[in-house]
C-alpha cells in the first residue's frame, strides 16, 4: 500500500528518512466513530532545528538542478495523486471526516497544484532593465532558501500542497508542519508523494507538531519565508513573530463571507447555492458562506426553502453511509459552534432548522431574523450554520456586507450580472463570485483575503506563487570595470 503504516507509523520525515520524533506520538482518530486508525509521529523544537539544517544543505543543490528535472519531479507527483487517489481519499474520509465528494476534490486539486507548479521552473526568472551606465542590468528571481509551511486540519491536502508544490518548483526546500489531528492526510500523504516522485533527500521535511514546533519554525534563522493557513488569532501571532525576526509571512486566515441575494434572484437557485456554500464539508472551510444577506422581498421564501433543504440533508459517517454532512473534527469545535448558535438564539435570532447535535455530528442549521449584533453574524462560526439577515436596499446590503473585519470571499445572486459586479466593487474582498456561492478553488487562480482574512492573494497562479516564494536580486554586468575618482 502507498500509505503502508509500517512506513510512517509513529514517525516524522526528516532528512529524507522516516524516524521517531522527539515529541512522541499521537493517536490518529476517526472523528465519526472515535476509532484509532494508527499513531502519527510528533516533532519537537529540536527536530525542527535538525530539519532546518538538513533543508538548507539540500536546497543549494536542488536550486542548481536543471529546470526540466525539477519540473519532472512535480509532474510525477501530480501523477501519483491520481494513481493513489482511492487510498488517499479513504484517509481523507476517515481521518478528516470529509464526505467522499470533498475528499475526491482535494485529491484533484492536489494533482492540479503539482501540474501548475511543474510549469514554474521553466518560466522566465527575471527581466532586463534599462541603465544609465554602460552595463547590462537585470532583475533576477532567486529562491528564498527554506520555506516553512504550517497547514490546518480542515482541508489538509489542499492547504498544504498549494504552498509546498510551488515553493519546491522554484528551487526552495520546504518544511511542512501539518496539524497533528490530520497528520496522515495532511502530512504523510504529501511526504510519500514527493518521496516516490524522486525529490532528493532533505529538500522536503514533514514534522507534525504543536505550537512549540510552529514557533521554532518561525524563529529559526534558516527558514526565510513562512506560509501559514489557519485561524486569524493564530495568524496574528505568526505574523508578529515573523515581523520581529524580519522574515516574510504569507497569511491565509479566517473568513465570515457573505452571500447577497438581491430581489430579482431566483429563490430556488439562491437557496441551493446557499446550502452548498454553508453546509459543504460541515462548514469547515475558510470560504464558507457565513452570512446570508437577503432582500426583504424574497426573505421569507428564502428562509423557508433553505430551512427545508437543511432539514433534509443527511448527516452521518461518510465512510459507511451516503451523507451530505460528516462529523466535525473534534468536541472543541462542536462546542464552539453550539455556543454561537445558542447565544444567537438568546440574542433574538430564530432557529429555523437544526441547532442540536449527536456526538460530533452537527446537522445543517439555519438561523433567521439575524441582526448585526448577534454572535452568528459577527463571528466566524466554522460550522454548518446559516445565519440569515434581511436588507431593504443596496446601501443597506453594502453596510451589512462590510460590517466585518474579514474580507475573504463574496457571493452575489442576481439576474442582472452588471448590477452584481457594481455591488461587488463596493465590498472589499479577495474573491468575488457573481451568481455563485463563496466556496471555490482552482490551482491556477489567485487565492487570498484582506483584513482579518490575511495578507492578500499569496497563492495560485504563476505570478502570485513566484512573488510568494522567490526574492528579487538586482544584477549588473560590465565588459570593463569603471574608474572612480577615489
Quickly tell me which residue has 461518510 as its cell.
Answer: 318
Catalytic residue among 30, 114, 286, 379: 286
Q: How far apart are the C-alpha atoms of 322 and 311, rounded to whole Å?
A: 16
285: left (phi over 0), alpha (psi -120 to 50) or beta: beta
> Annotated catalytic, 252?
yes
Exactly one of 113, 252, 379, 380 is catalytic; name it. Answer: 252
Q: How many degrees, rounded to 5, is the angle at CA 138 between CA 143 and CA 474?
A: 55
Give start and end residues of each alpha helix (H) in 282-424: 299-311, 331-346, 375-378, 394-401, 417-424
Can you name the residues that pair with 176 across neighbouring β-strands?
149, 206
286 among known catalytic residues: yes
Whole-angstrom Cα Rg for the chain:
24
Task: State the cell numbers at 202.
Answer: 532533505
Specify the pairing of strand 289-295 against strand 257-261: parallel
3-state secondary structure of 479: coil
Q: Is 87 exposed, middle or buried (0-12, 13-18, 19+ CB in 10 A)?
A: middle
Torsion sign over Cα 220, 221, 223, 225: positive
What is the set of active-site residues? 252, 286
Amino acid at each position: 500500500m502507498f500509505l503502508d503504516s509500517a512506513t510512517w507509523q509513529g514517525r516524522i520525515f526528516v532528512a529524507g528518512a522516516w524516524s521517531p520524533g522527539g515529541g512522541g506520538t499521537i493517536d490518529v482518530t476517526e472523528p465519526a466513530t472515535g476509532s484509532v486508525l494508527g499513531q502519527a509521529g510528533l516533532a519537537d523544537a529540536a527536530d525542527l532545528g535538525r530539519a532546518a539544517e538538513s533543508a538548507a544543505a539540500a536546497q543549494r543543490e536542488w536550486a542548481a538542478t536543471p529546470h526540466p528535472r525539477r519540473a519532472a519531479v512535480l509532474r510525477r507527483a501530480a501523477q501519483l495523486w491520481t494513481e493513489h487517489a482511492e487510498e488517499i481519499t479513504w484517509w481523507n474520509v476517515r481521518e478528516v471526516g470529509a464526505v467522499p465528494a470533498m475528499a475526491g476534490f482535494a485529491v484533484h486539486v492536489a494533482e492540479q497544484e503539482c501540474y501548475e507548479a511543474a510549469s514554474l521552473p521553466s518560466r522566465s526568472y527575471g527581466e532586463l532593465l534599462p541603465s544609465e551606465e554602460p552595463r547590462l542590468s537585470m532583475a533576477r528571481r532567486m529562491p528564498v532558501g527554506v520555506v516553512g509551511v504550517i497547514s490546518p486540519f480542515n482541508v489538509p491536502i489542499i492547504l498544504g500542497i498549494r504552498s509546498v508544490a510551488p515553493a519546491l518548483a522554484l528551487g526552495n526546500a520546504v518544511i511542512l508542519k501539518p496539524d497533528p489531528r490530520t497528520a496522515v492526510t495532511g502530512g504523510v500523504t504529501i511526504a510519500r508523494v514527493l518521496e516516490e516522485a524522486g525529490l532528493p533527500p532533505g529538500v522536503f521535511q514533514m514534522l507534525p507538531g504543536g505550537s512549540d514546533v510552529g514557533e521554532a519554525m518561525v524563529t529559526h534563522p534558516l527558514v526565510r519565508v513562512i506560509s501559514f493557513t489557519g485561524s486569524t488569532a493564530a495568524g496574528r501571532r505568526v505574523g508578529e513573530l515573523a515581523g520581529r525576526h524580519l522574515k516574510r509571512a504569507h497569511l491565509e486566515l479566517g473568513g465570515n463571507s457573505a452571500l447577497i441575494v438581491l430581489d430579482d434572484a431566483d429563490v430556488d437557485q439562491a437557496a441551493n447555492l446557499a446550502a452548498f456554500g454553508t453546509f459543504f464539508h460541515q462548514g469547515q472551510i475558510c470560504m464558507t458562506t457565513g452570512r446570508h444577506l437577503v432582500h426583504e422581498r424574497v426573505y421569507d421564501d428564502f428562509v423557508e426553502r433553505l430551512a427545508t433543504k437543511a432539514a433534509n440533508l443527511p448527516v452521518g459517517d461518510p465512510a459507511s453511509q451516503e451523507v451530505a454532512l460528516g462529523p466535525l473534527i473534534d468536541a472543541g469545535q462542536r462546542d464552539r459552534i453550539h455556543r454561537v448558535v445558542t447565544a444567537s438564539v438568546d440574542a433574538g435570532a430564530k432557529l429555523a432548522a437544526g441547532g442540536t447535535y449527536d456526538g460530533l455530528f452537527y446537522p445543517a442549521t439555519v438561523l433567521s431574523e439575524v441582526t448585526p449584533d448577534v454572535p452568528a453574524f459577527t463571528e466566524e462560526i466554522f460550522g454548518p450554520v446559516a445565519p440569515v439577515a434581511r436588507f431593504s436596499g443596496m446601501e443597506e446590503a453594502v453596510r451589512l456586507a462590510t460590517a466585518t473585519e474579514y474580507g475573504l470571499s463574496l457571493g452575489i445572486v442576481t439576474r442582472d450580472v452588471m448590477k452584481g459586479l457594481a455591488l461587488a466593487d463596493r465590498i472589499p474582498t479577495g474573491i468575488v463570485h457573481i451568481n455563485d456561492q463563496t466556496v471555490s478553488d482552482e490551482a491556477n487562480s489567485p487565492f487570498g483575503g484582506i483584513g482579518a482574512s490575511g495578507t492578500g492573494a499569496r497563492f495560485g497562479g504563476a505570478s502570485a506563487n513566484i512573488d510568494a516564494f522567490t526574492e528579487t536580486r538586482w544584477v549588473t554586468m560590465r565588459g570593463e570595470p569603471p574608474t572612480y575618482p577615489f
